[in-house]
Amino acid sequence: MQGHFITLEGGEGSGKTTVLDLVYKELSDLGYSVLVTREPGGIPIAEYIREIILNPNNTQMEKRTEALLYAAARRQHLIEVIVPALERGQVVLCDRFIDSSLVYQGYARGIGMEEVMAINHFAIGDLYPELTLFFDVEPEEGLARIAQNENREKNRLDLEKLTFHKKVYEGYHLLLNKYPDRIKRIDAKKSIPEVTSETVERILIKLKG
C-alpha cells in the first residue's frame, strides 16, 4: 500500500479529537491527501456498533462482549475505509485504533492485553499503524476538561470511576514503553496550538522519512 496509516490515542479529555481537525487542515494545506476517521465508527455499520458500546444505558455490558464489539467495528472500518484510502495513497489519520482496546479492555477491564491482542489480530491481520501518537495528560485533568465541555458527546466510559481512568493511563504508558518505535508521546497538557504543532511535526517526520 502506498498510503500512510497514523493513529491518535489518549484517555478521555486528552484533546486529540480537537487537535485532529487542526492537523487535518495543516497537512491538507501542505498538499497531502488526508482522510480523517474515528473508532469505533467511521461508517454506518461501525457507527451502529458504537451506539451500542457507548450508550450510557448499557451499563450491564460484559467486558468480553465489549472487546468483541470493538473488534467487530474495527474490522468493518478497516475493510470499508482504511484499506481503500491507503490503496489510494492517502494519509489516514484515525482517532483511536487497536491500542485503545489493549488499554481499555485488556488492561483497565482486566481481560489481559494478550487476550485482546489475539481478538484484534483476527480482526486486522498485520495492518498496524506505522505511527501512533499518544496524547499524554493525567486523567484528573482530562476528566476536568470533559466536565467543562458542554458540547462533548457524553458516553458510557464517562460513567467510570477515576480508578478506571487511572488504569487506562497506566496502560498507555505500558504500551509506550513496549512499542517505542511506533508510539510517540505528545505532551497534551500544553496549549492547543502547541499540541497541534508538535503533532504535525511528528507526522511530517514520518511522512518524509
pLDDT in tens, 85-120: 999 999 999 999 999 999 999 999 999 999 999 999
Average pLDDT, the chain: 93
What does the alpha-carbon distance between residue 164 and residue 33 come to, in Å, rounded to a whole number?
A: 37
**What value does the mean pLDDT take over residues 180-206?**
97
**What value does the mean pLDDT take over residues 44-51?**
92
Residues 6+ apart with CB under 8 A from 142: 10, 11, 12, 13, 14, 165
Where do we find the cell 495543516? 26
Handedness of CA 47, 99, 122, 81 (dihedral sign): positive
| pTM of this structure | 0.91
What would the grid cell of residue 167 be? 488504569
pLDDT in tens, 25-42: 999 999 999 999 999 988
CB 41 within 8 A of CB 144: no
SS3 for 47? helix
Nearest to 115 by CA among 70, 67, 75, 76: 67
> What pLDDT is stored for residue 146 in this prediction?
82
pLDDT in tens, 121-169: 999 999 999 999 999 999 999 888 888 876 666 666 766 889 999 999 9
